Amino acid sequence: MARVLVLVFASLTATLLCCAPATSAQVSINIGVAPACPYGYFSYPPYNCAPYGYYGPDWFVGGVFIGAGPWFHGPAHFSGHVDNRFDPRHGYRGPMPARGDEPNNNFRGNEARDGRGHVVKGDHDARNEHALPGRPEGRH
CB 113 within 8 A of CB 119: yes
Dihedral angle, C-alpha 103, 119, 33, 51, nearest 10 ° = -20
Q: What are phi and psi of 73, to 5 degrees?
A: -135, 35
Q: Show pLDDT as tens, one digit a residue, over the chain (140 residues).
A: 667 665 656 665 656 555 556 555 555 455 688 888 888 999 999 898 898 889 988 898 888 889 999 999 888 888 899 999 889 999 998 887 665 565 555 677 888 898 888 888 876 676 666 554 444 443 33
